[in-house]
Amino acid sequence: MNNNKKIKTVNPTTEEIIQEYEIIAKGEVNDRVKKARNIFQGWKKDSSKRTDLLHDFANELRKDKENLASIIKINHITIIT
């Protein structure tokens, strides 16, 4: 089903393609969801590890906050085609 089709995120002001996303088959989506559910079973049992990972993630976001803010700004005026 893939056929290399993509969904594009386009800035409507400049018509610049911001990102392209591959369309995946339903079976692959189901496989990824099943894998995520299995991983979640371990994740939900270890709150200490979860806390550490979330703090690390937050620190990484803070390091790149200017770039992330510009992406958010662009996405607020972006149309998906």
Domain boundaries, the chain: 6-80
Cα distance between residue 23 and residue 80, in whole Å = 14
DSSP 13: T
Distances (CA, A) of 53 to 33, 40, 45, 58, 78: 21, 14, 14, 9, 31
- Interval 76-80 mean pLDDT: 59
Q: Encode pLDDT of 21-76 as tens digits.
A: 999 999 999 999 999 999 999 888 888 988 999 999 999 999 988 888 887 776 66
Structure pTM?
Answer: 0.49
Q: With contact defined as beta carbons under 8 Å apart, do 19 and 8 qualify?
A: yes
